[in-house]
Chains A and B, each alone.
Chain A
Amino acid sequence: MYNFEFEKPSTIADAVAALGAEDAQALGGGQTLIPTLKQRLAAPSALVSLSGIAEMKGVCVDDDGSVSIGGATTHATVEAEAADSYPAMAALAGQIGDPAVRNRGTIGGSVANNDPAACYPAGVLGSGATIITNSRQIGADDFFEGLFTTALEEGEIITSIRFPVPQAASYQKFLQPASRFALVGVYLARFADGVRVAVTGASEDGVFRWSEAEEALNKEFRPDALMDLRINPANMIGDLHGSKDYRAHLVGVMTKRAVEACM
């Protein structure tokens, strides 16, 4: 690792101020960032830890029934504290990494990083959540902009994410056997006004909504509704762990299983 200054502010305002320094970077749980730094693939002047900001931690149910999760909330905390209020999201959190990783990794860090095979982007996009930063609110559909790219500006911090809670939801994850990220992960959420299907792990453009599946399921919410749908393999990731065709196939299978889980 290149060396850097370490700061651990206790308020959002102080964190924003610290991130104003040139080449300063926010540090969530560090579960992706620290391995990146070890490879010397990044050289921040300072790391601003968000782990000391109490107002960015925890899970709460808002008056309108939506669930808000602080940006610095660990996966383990989401798994435990959202179990009643948004069980599908709690279950998703419980499938990220491994127990020790879940004790450090945070939802804000994961969403801000937008790894194309990460779980949370599917959950956030699939839920149609709202990403709340220190300066604004961004709808999930406008937030994810491709591989490791989001709508966040330099120094902008995800302070919380607000999830509308669907009638039913399910995350179906097919493991990449080495990293245990998603080879394909499908988050399906069924709301009163329609179904959302978000897919991670599969596309070269990162997380995406499978609109054809949504339309089909809006017409008829049962597994068979997907039977004739095929996703175009051309834009899928093809690598050591699975061909484009295989990923395209898995998107269908995982979506079908998510429907079954929601029935």
Chain B
Amino acid sequence: MPKDSGIGASSKRREDVRFLTGAGNYTDDINAAGQAYVYFLRSDIAHGRINSVDTSAAEGMPGVVKVFTGKDFEGVGGMPCGWEVTDKHGAPMQEPPHPILAQGKVRHVGDPIAAVVADSLEQARDAAEAIDLDIEELPAVMDMKAAAQDGATLVHDDLKNNICYDWQLGEADDAKVNEVFANAAHVTTLDLVNNRLVANPMEPRVAVAEYNRGTEEYTLYTTSQNPHVIRLLMCAFVLGLPEHKVRVVAPDVGGGFGTKIFHYAEEAFCTFAAKACNRPVKWSASRSEAFMSDAHGRDHVSKIELALDADNNFVGLRTNTYANLGAYLSTFSSSVPTWLHGTLMAGNYTTPVIQVNVKAMFTNTVPVDAYRGAGRPEATYQIERVVDKAARELGVDPIALRRQNFVTQFPYDTPVALTYDTGDYNGTMDKLETAADLAGFAARRAESEASGKLRGLGINCYIEACGIAPSNIVGMLGARAGLYDAATVRVNATGSISVMVGAHSHGQGHETAFPQVVADMIGIDESMVEIVHGDTSKIPFGMGTYGSRSLAVCGSAMVKATEKVIEKAKKIAAHLLEASEADIELKDGQFSVAGTDKSVAWGDVTLTAYVPHNYPLEVEPGLEETAFYDPANFTFPAGAYACEVEVDPETGQVSIEKFTAADDFGNIVNPMIVDGQVHGGIGQGIGQALLENCAYDENGQLLSASFMDYAMPRADDVPFYGVDHSSQTPCTHNPLGVKGCGEAGAIGSPPAVVNAVLDALNSGGKAVDHIDMPVSPSRVWAAMNS
């Protein structure tokens, strides 16, 4: 029986009411009295040397408050990178400066050169057009392999080359790896591209900053997934401001998908300018501006080789990847192709020898950073495409080949630095086979063929490392931050509860799901618990929401804080009931003495905490507890996906006919929300596989610079999805046994789609073994006719 409240219930989302009635409060809905508007003059060339920026005409234009250029920020820090990767020779990565406004050179189309603050946005834009630029165009560094060659044009003149780092994980002995491949019965090799994507949350980025001269306090409203991280980075590394004088608020945020994790120059600029102009300053990105200023995602070019023995056991895996970091290091960009990617290269399999090589490249493109899945989709795509190709080459069933090589014993230490605590990949695959009715595929294929279409079935397995992460471990790996989270449970006198959480909800439904946990632990109605998030002045601290970590990490902090609250409340109850604390039980909001009918209600205890007349002297009044939770390990959600496509052999058009996901997320708090997270991830994964392509020309001009050319998935591009999460192996090391579900769909679906397309083509007699994403009609047709 589904539960109707508490952990495991599909409670309807309370936040929906404001969103459905137009009462949400997004950053662009916020206007400060007397605010001025900023317009950024951005580079329209990919690479150039700035000879001069003459703002004199602009400064005299109507409504102009002040014009800023890179010179105004010479004494100010640049945008920091939060993860120092060490290369395979032990040297730190090359880390070029990333100024708020360009200094010396422009390095990508969209790089901000100047900023005009004016009474209105149109006036600011008018004045920006009057800025006289003298920029000498330089050759654009676009191709990653060419950029790695000696003598290539440098994106950053002060670096020795365009390689940020040359990194390796796994087996360091090349001879040993070579031997594995030399002795293999079969080797499958695949060259593939993980296409560059633009996250495109529907809400473009916005920043509104205010400065109070009287108190010397700043307030920044910003579209962020992690306001505390923004405050820390901006105060400590960029502007040098005292943290206690800066409040960062991320109100309702219209989607993030990773791209709103990062600290952006525009946020720091508005904060700086609010003081410099002595006026609130607002910036709202247009979508066109978002395309050239939001960090992009993916963009890996890889070669992967899989070695199998005569019994089709995986015996070795080697990958060589060029990872595009763009022109500057975005906040967590360096970690994505390394610790979020290389560590996942074991996948769900027992491959004993793995070597991962990654060259991370600077190019004259928008910075690339984490996008839903962040490294894990790139890893999964490589593994699952090469496994599928191997199955085809060997003529074996792709599910059987996967099952044969699954990890089945846990905990499992991979050759690439992770310890999987738990999982049941065969069990999850069993669920998939049933949920996707794989037995009925042959009949469905026959039906498609009867109507002139090719039908294919694509299978994919994935594992991801979520709940990032044990701070001591990520610290050793180069993270410049801890990755714990925090929660304060504040019980009010009347028994209602405010929970201040470090996670930020921008679609994930925390405002509904988190109270389910607290209410369940105490046995009170969910409506008595409210979540407070997104405001550094209200919450203790928070590392924010990304990497499917909110419930696993922040939720664990919330559980621990709630446990502390309950422990203290039991002391009070014991006093009121004149019993031993050890005998007090809490159930359904009642404290009772075990084995008796004596009890006192939750509300009476909480009132006593704040009106401590009849009260234990050794206990402090009040009922509020804070906990920080630092996870002991990553969590390891895993799953098996099936995609069925039809291909129109005349046009190459692919349509997704059926998509089924079987996931193991461990325990689940709100199944409705989990389903929704999986749906959304699959939608984005199908988008990557079939539609989305952030493309540049050889001069560094962005070809897909608006929704006119960047194909977002629409309702008629996707089917209803089948979602099954009944395979559950609870996480062994967090109190809720949860693993995280936010990214799974985006990780698990692209290989399933591509595998299905290739299956369809091969079923039609076309021996096509790979098509790069997006698998557009044009590419499918070309592959069929090559």
Identify the A interface with B (CB < 8 A): 1, 3, 38-40, 174, 177-179, 239-243, 245-246, 249-250, 253
Contacts and interface: CB of A to CB of B under 8 A. Distances in A.
A178 B708 contact: yes
Contact of B776 (A3, A179, A241, A249): A241
A246 B781 contact: yes
Contacts of B286: 38
A253 B288 contact: no
A261 to B, nearest CB: 15
B32 interface: no
A188 B345 CA distance: 53
Nearest to B703: A240
B611 interface: no
A146 B145 CA distance: 40
B8 interface: no
Interface stretch (B232-240, B242-250, B319-327, B709-717): B709-717
B129, B653, B777, most chain A CB atoms within 10 A: B777
6 smallest CB-CB distances across A and B, nearest first, come from A178-B711, A177-B711, A242-B778, A246-B778, A179-B708, A253-B650
Contacts of B125: 40
Contacts of B129: 40
B781 A178 contact: no
Interface string B568-585: 000000000000000000
Contact of A240 (B695, B717, B777): B695
Given A178-B707, A240-B704, A253-B650, A39 B288 contact: yes
16 contacts: A1-B122, A38-B286, A39-B288, A174-B653, A177-B691, A177-B776, A178-B710, A178-B711, A178-B712, A240-B709, A242-B778, A243-B782, A245-B782, A246-B778, A246-B781, A246-B782
B709 A178 contact: yes
Given A177-B776, A246-B781, A253-B650, 20 more contacts: A1-B122, A3-B122, A39-B288, A174-B653, A174-B777, A177-B691, A178-B711, A178-B712, A179-B708, A239-B703, A240-B693, A240-B695, A240-B704, A240-B709, A241-B709, A241-B778, A242-B777, A243-B778, A245-B782, A253-B651
Interface string B705-737: 001111110000100000000000000000000
B288 to A, nearest CB: 7
Contacts of B781: 246, 249
Interface of B is mostly: loop
A220 B240 CA distance: 79
Interface in B738-753: none
B292 to A, nearest CB: 13
Contacts of A40: 125, 129
B651 A174 contact: yes
A38 B707 CA distance: 14
B778 A179 contact: no
B284 to A, nearest CB: 13
Given A39-B288, A241-B776, A250 B651 contact: yes
A3 B122 CA distance: 9
A197 to B, nearest CB: 18
A78 to B, nearest CB: 22
B649 to A, nearest CB: 10
Contacts of B651: 174, 250, 253
A246 B779 CA distance: 9
A39 B122 CA distance: 12
Contacts of A177: 691, 711, 717, 776
Contact of B709 (A3, A38, A39, A179): A179
Nearest to B650: A253
A256 B650 CA distance: 11
B40 to A, nearest CB: 15
Contacts of B778: 241-243, 246
B50 to A, nearest CB: 23
A235 to B, nearest CB: 17
A179 B695 CA distance: 15
Contacts of B691: 177-178
Contacts of B693: 240
A179 B650 CA distance: 22
Contacts of A250: 651
A148 to B, nearest CB: 15
A240 B778 CA distance: 9
B288, B711, B782, most chain A CB atoms within 10 A: B711
Contact of B704 (A38, A174, A178): A178
A240 B781 CA distance: 14
